């Protein structure tokens, strides 16, 4: 059945002219891991990110770009254009030995792009499951892959939980110890740009490790922030600048190869800054793990070919599920009609109103409260219905102080479980209107229930000892589910 279906797709593409055309842009989707709203120069002048700022300032800055509260769900949305609550990945991140991946019948962005004639490459963090080879990048539409399968690891040893997680396509990379991942990932991207077959456009998915914990950076970057008193925050700021340098080498390679003018770049964080690891989302409320704005409204922009109106801020809603249809529209294609994303390509490039008027922040019925359970945005209004996630305050960067005591980060609003905000009037979520506007609560809850009809249970099983790297020569390895 399946092979007949994919043959039909191939034939269709041949007949409809699915091969590359000269006007198709090269596309790069850069994801920064755990980068906060207040962690980039174009939001915070004390951050040193000249390369990122130059792209953002001469592109389109997204003012209301939303993602999920944590990594695996956001990446599910980036790759499929479908809400994670339909993929079972809505609850939390995929842990190393959990026999879980994004369901294999979901089409990934590079699979669509290959049918449009693109060469496709993924470099960096995967975190969409790897227990079966079919879950891994080169089996899900990428021609090449360099990176690691899990959510985090040491930036130099490329180990997590004591075991190596570093791959070149499907091969284990054992000889990159000591090489900081941001620079290696940039080098891989530069190699692809330098060696690409000019008769085809390329797509590079570039989800950097930076700036997720552990807090590690070459000293010269840390030294660029002598006024930041807190050592952790100083190193974190250095990590952001190292990421910026890595992005600078990619844009330089595009210029040297004379393809910069035919390349479209999207940049986004995967969730808000991780507060306890020195990320910062000031002045937004909360951070990573929460459905507050600080966890879900992220630093994001687009730059490059096809964008007619530049140097402005796109104020409309953009959601993580919109990357698939937006990128496909720019590439001259279309996704399956059943996905949740809407193409924002015309709106972004011309500066028109957004095609999106509402979205789901998350829907999760799983009992154990780790991340935000349920929230929806419709027009001006946002309803948070149930546990919002770990941190519910407003936090300044720890730049001029010692570490904030951990207890300050604890969720302390258990007494309230329903919040309603008018985010147009109150973008910082200071005034809960739930008691004042019960009818609006009712309407938004009813809308949320409509979405809930399509929810599948969170797939969050216990870790399986079969996945332990001790069975695979000390390397995190697929093939046990
Ligand atoms: C994948 O398969 C499941 C189970 O058959 C089905 O419910 C779901 O709609 C499918 N999803 C996609 C995106 O094809
Ligand atoms: C690491 O190993 C690969 C594959 O054998 C090889 O191509 C590469 O040159 C090696 N790199 C270093 C720094 O030794
Ligand atoms: C610390 O952060 C605050 C708020 O973002 C900013 O006003 C201040 O300049 C920063 N100080 C340093 C030393 O970066
Ligand atoms: C960005 O959004 C905020 C609300 O959070 C709003 O106050 C501000 O005017 C917007 N900026 C632009 C340039 O649209
Ligand atoms: C939300 O606030 C804005 C700005 O004050 C106002 O124009 C709008 O009517 C409010 N929306 C609702 C639904 O109350």
Q: How far is the CA of 5 from the centre of ligand 1 (A)?
A: 15
Question: Which residue, judged by its Cα, is nearest atom 6 of ligand 1?
Answer: 105
> What is the atom index within ligand 1 of the atom nearest the CA of 339?
13
**Given phi > 0 = left and psi -120 to 50 = alpha, else beta, which region is 34?**
left
pTM of the model: 0.95
Band of residue 387 on the pLDDT scale cut at 50, 70, 90: confident
Do the strands 119-125 and 202-207 form a parallel or antiparallel pair, or are they unpaired? parallel
Catalytic sites, residue numbers = 71, 127
Give the pLDDT confidence score for residue 229 in this predicted structure.
93
**Which one-letter DSSP state was computed for residue 344?**
-
Q: What is the 3-state secondary structure (H, E, C) of 181-231?
A: HHHHHHHHHHHHHHHCCCCCCEEEEEECCCCCCCCCCCHHHHCCCCCCCCH
Q: Taking each helix axis from N to C terminus, what angle separates 181-195 and 231-256, rounded to the nearest 10 degrees?
A: 10
Q: How much helix, strand and coil, in percent to the nearest 5, is found in the chain? A: 30, 20, 50
* Lowest-pLDDT choice from 11-20, 183-192, 250-259, 365-374: 11-20
Please indicate whether residue 424, judged by its CB atom, sits closer than 6 Å to ligand 5: yes
Give the pLDDT confidence score for residue 404 in this predicted structure.
75
* Lowest-pLDDT choice from 86-90, 183-187, 304-308, 365-369: 365-369
* Lowest-pLDDT choice from 2-6, 135-139, 262-266, 398-402: 2-6
* Lowest-pLDDT choice from 203-212, 222-231, 384-393, 467-476: 384-393
Question: What are the pLDDT digits (tens) for 401-438?
Answer: 877 776 677 666 566 689 999 999 999 999 999 999 99
Using CB distances shorter than 6 Å, the residues near ligand 3 are 38, 44, 46, 227-228, 282, 396-397, 399-400
At residue 73, does pLDDT exceed 70? yes
Using CB distances shorter than 6 Å, the residues near ligand 4 are 63, 313, 315, 427
Question: Which residue, judged by its Cα, is nearest atom 3 of ligand 3?
Answer: 397
Average pLDDT, the chain: 93
Rounded Cα distance, 32 and 103, in Å: 24
Band of residue 4 on the pLDDT scale cut at 50, 70, 90: very low
Give the pLDDT confidence score for residue 373 in this predicted structure.
84
- Ramachandran angles phi, psi of 105, nearest 5°: -90, 5
> Considering every ligand atom, which ligand is closest to the CA of 88?
1
Asked whether the beta carbons of 111 and 105 are under 8 A apart, the reply is no
Query: Which residue among 425, 430, 443 is best mutated to probe the pocket of ligand 5, counting the most ligand atoms within 8 A of its Cβ?
Result: 425
Please indicate whether residue 422, judged by its CB atom, sits closer than 6 Å to ligand 5: yes
At residue 357, does pLDDT exceed 70? yes
Residues ≥6 apart with Cβ < 8 Å to 403: 230, 232
């Amino acid at each position: 059945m399946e092979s007949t279906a994919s043959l039909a797709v191939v034939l269709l593409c041949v007949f409809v002219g699915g091969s590359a055309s000269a006007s198709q842009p090269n596309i790069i989707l850069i994801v920064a891991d755990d980068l906060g709203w207040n962690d980039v120069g174009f939001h915070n002048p004390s951050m040193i990110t000249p390369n990122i700022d130059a792209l953002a300032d001469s592109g389109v800055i997204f003012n209301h770009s939303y993602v999920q509260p944590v990594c695996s769900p956001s990446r599910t949305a980036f790759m499929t254009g479908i809400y994670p609550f339909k993929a079972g990945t809505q609850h939390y991140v995929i842990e190393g030995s959990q026999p879980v991946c994004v369901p294999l019948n979901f089409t990934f962005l590079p699979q669509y792009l290959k049918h449009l004639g693109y060469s496709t490459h993924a470099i960096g963090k995967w975190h969409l499951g790897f227990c079966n080879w079919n879950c891994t990048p080169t089996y899900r539409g990428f021609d090449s892959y360099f990176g690691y399968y899990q959510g985090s690891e040491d930036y130099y040893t490329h180990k997590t939980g004591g075991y190596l997680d570093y791959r070149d396509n499907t091969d284990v990379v054992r000889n990159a110890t000591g090489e900081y991942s941001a620079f290696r990932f940039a080098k891989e991207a530069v190699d692809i740009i330098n060696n690409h077959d000019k008769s085809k456009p390329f797509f590079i998915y570039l989800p950097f490790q930076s700036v997720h914990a552990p807090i590690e950076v070459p000293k010269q970057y840390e030294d660029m922030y002598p006024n930041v008193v807190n050592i952790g925050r100083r190193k974190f700021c250095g990590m952001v600048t190292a990421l910026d340098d890595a992005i600078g080498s990619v844009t330089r390679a595009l210029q040297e190869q004379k393809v910069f003018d035919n390349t479209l770049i999207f940049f986004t964080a995967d969730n808000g800054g991780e507060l306890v690891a020195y990320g910062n989302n000031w002045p937004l409320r909360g951070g990573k793990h929460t459905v507050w704005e600080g966890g879900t409204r992220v630093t994001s922009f687009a730059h490059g070919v096809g964008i007619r109106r530049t140097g402005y801020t796109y104020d409309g809603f953009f959601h993580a599920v919109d990357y698939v249809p937006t990128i496909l529209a720019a590439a001259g294609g279309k996704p399956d009609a059943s996905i949740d994303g809407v193409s924002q390509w015309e709106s972004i490039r011309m500066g028109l109103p957004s095609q999106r008027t509402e979205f789901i922040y998350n829907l999760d019925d799983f009992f154990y409260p780790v991340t935000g359970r349920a929230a929806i945005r419709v027009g001006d209004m946002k309803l948070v219905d149930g546990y919002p996630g770990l941190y519910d305050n407003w936090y300044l960067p720890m730049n001029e102080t010692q570490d904030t005591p951990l207890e300050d980060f604890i969720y302390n609003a258990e007494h309230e479980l329903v919040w309603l905000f008018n985010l147009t009037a109150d973008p910082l979520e200071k005034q809960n209107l739930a008691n004042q506007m019960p009818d609006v609560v009712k309407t938004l809850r009813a809308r949320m229930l409509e979405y809930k009809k399509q929810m599948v249970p969170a797939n969050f099983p216990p870790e399986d000892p079969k996945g332990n790297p001790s069975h695979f020569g000390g390397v995190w390895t697929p093939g046990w589910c």
